[in-house]
């Protein structure tokens, strides 16, 4: 499959800093991927997201080496407005992203720069609200929405621009578990049914394990490990020292493996853990 983002030898040093925030990053994102990025504070996750949408190098001074290609566009040669047609961004604080008083106007705001005919704007707003499951909020005041609803409005605003990629930097950090799940289900729908490539930075590993196709772990400006969720979560030796605890279902399998009771794949979800336990109990029964 073709690469939709290709990053080669990316190093970025913020102006005034001696240490690179990103250090020789290579990354290849395929169209349709759902990638999770995790890592300790200061690892460079946000800086990497800002390099993807072009905010770096266009708005942050610093030393930029290597190349970032997004949907066939070099981010150094193309400004953020051009890149916004390919990559949408959603950040941590939904409040800070809101500019309008009413949901519909919030979506229209981003579209105004595209100089679309009125009926096309209308169509895109209706479509984006439908896809994110918030059509009923169209005429609601943005100030009265819950955190989860605000984040869905932010996602709807981003996808109204018809990007091929969505990069989200800790989109659920301000949300309760219910709001978090709604946001992840929305992302799953965008990915599976609308072909949008998703890159999400997240601290809560259980959501990454549940929803992502690939995981990337960052530390000190580098990607220390990447692969399928199962491959990455199997590397407790790398994750633990970085303070990343695996989801409880994966930890359970790890403990069973350490005791020689289980030898199969790591479960990522509760129903998979149920299968693991059933298998262990069955083997144990046979052994007795």
Ligand X SMILES: Nc1ncnc2c1ncn2[C@@H]1O[C@H](COP(=O)(O)OP(=O)(O)OP(=O)(O)O)[C@@H](O)[C@H]1O
Residues engaged in binding ligand X (CB under 6 A): 14, 17, 21, 39, 41-47
Cβ 197 vs Cβ 4: under 8 Å: yes
Strand partners, 69: 6, 74
**In a 10 Å sphere around its CB, with 0-12 CB exposed, 13-18 middle and 19+ buried, how is residue 85 labelled?**
middle
* Chosen from ligand X, Mg ion, none, partner binding at 131 (C-beta under 5 to 8 Å by type): none
Task: Please enumerate in sequence order all residues whose Cβ is within 8 A of that of 109, keeping only pairs 6 or more positions apart, or say none.
Answer: 99, 100, 157
Nearer to ligand X by C-beta: 55 or 121?
A: 55
Strand partners, 14: 62
- ∠ CA 182-109-167 to the nearest 5 degrees? 45
142 touching Mg ion, by CB under 5 A: no
**What is the rounded distance in angstroms from the CA atom of residue 152 to the CA atom of residue 132?**
6
* Chosen from Mg ion, ligand X, none, partner binding at 109 (C-beta under 5 to 8 Å by type): none
* Chosen from Mg ion, ligand X, none, partner binding at 78 (C-beta under 5 to 8 Å by type): none
User: How far apart are CB 175 and ligand X at their closest, in Å?
Assistant: 16
Nearer to ligand X by C-beta: 12 or 266?
A: 12
Cis link prior to 191 (omega < 30° from 0)?
no
* Chosen from Mg ion, ligand X, none, partner binding at 115 (C-beta under 5 to 8 Å by type): none
User: How far apart are CB 92 and ligand X at their closest, in Å?
Assistant: 8
Nearer to ligand X by C-beta: 42 or 227?
A: 42
* Chosen from ligand X, Mg ion, none, partner binding at 39 (C-beta under 5 to 8 Å by type): ligand X
- Return the closest-CA partner of residue 40 out of 232, 269, 205, 227: 205
Footprint on residues 31-50 left by Mg ion (CB under 5 A): 45-46
User: How far apart are CB 42 and Mg ion at their closest, in Å?
Assistant: 8
Nearer to ligand X by C-beta: 50 or 129?
A: 50
User: How far apart are CB 19 and ligand X at their closest, in Å?
Assistant: 7
* Chosen from ligand X, Mg ion, none, partner binding at 14 (C-beta under 5 to 8 Å by type): ligand X
Give, as one character, the DSSP assignment of residue 172. T
Strand partners, 165: 87, 197
Residues forming contacts to Mg ion in the complex (CB under 5 A) are 45-46
């Amino acid at each position: 499959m073709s690469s939709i983002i290709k990053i080669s030898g990316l190093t970025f040093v913020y102006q005034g800093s001696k240490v690179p925030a990103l250090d020789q990053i290579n990354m290849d994102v395929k169209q349709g991927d759902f990638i999770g990025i995790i890592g300790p504070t200061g690892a460079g996750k946000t800086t990497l997201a800002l390099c993807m949408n072009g905010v770096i190098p266009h708005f942050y001074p610093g030393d930029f080496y290597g190349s970032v290609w997004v949907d066939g566009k070099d981010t150094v040669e193309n400004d953020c407005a051009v890149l916004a047609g390919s990559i949408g961004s959603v950040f941590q604080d939904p409040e800070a992203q809101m500019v309008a008083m009413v949901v519909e106007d919030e979506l229209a705001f981003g579209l105004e720069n595209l100089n679309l005919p009125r009926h096309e704007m209308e169509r895109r707003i209706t479509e984006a609200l439908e896809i994110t499951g918030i059509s009923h909020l169209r005429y609601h005041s943005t100030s009265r929405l819950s955190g989860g609803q605000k984040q869905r409005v932010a996602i709807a605003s981003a996808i109204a621009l018809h990007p091929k990629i969505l990069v989200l930097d800790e989109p659920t950090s301000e949300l309760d578990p219910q709001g978090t799940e709604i946001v992840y289900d929305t992302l799953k729908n965008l990915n599976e049914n609308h072909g949008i490539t998703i890159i999400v930075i997240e601290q809560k590993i259980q959501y990454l394990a549940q929803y992502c196709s690939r995981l990337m772990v960052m530390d000190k400006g580098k990607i220390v490990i990447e692969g399928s969720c199962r491959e990455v979560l199997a590397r407790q030796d790398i994750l633990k020292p970085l303070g990343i605890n695996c989801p409880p279902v994966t930890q359970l399998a790890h403990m069973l493996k350490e005791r020689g009771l289980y030898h199969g794949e790591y479960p990522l979800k509760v129903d998979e853990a149920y299968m693991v336990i059933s298998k262990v109990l069955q083997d144990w029964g046979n052994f007795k």
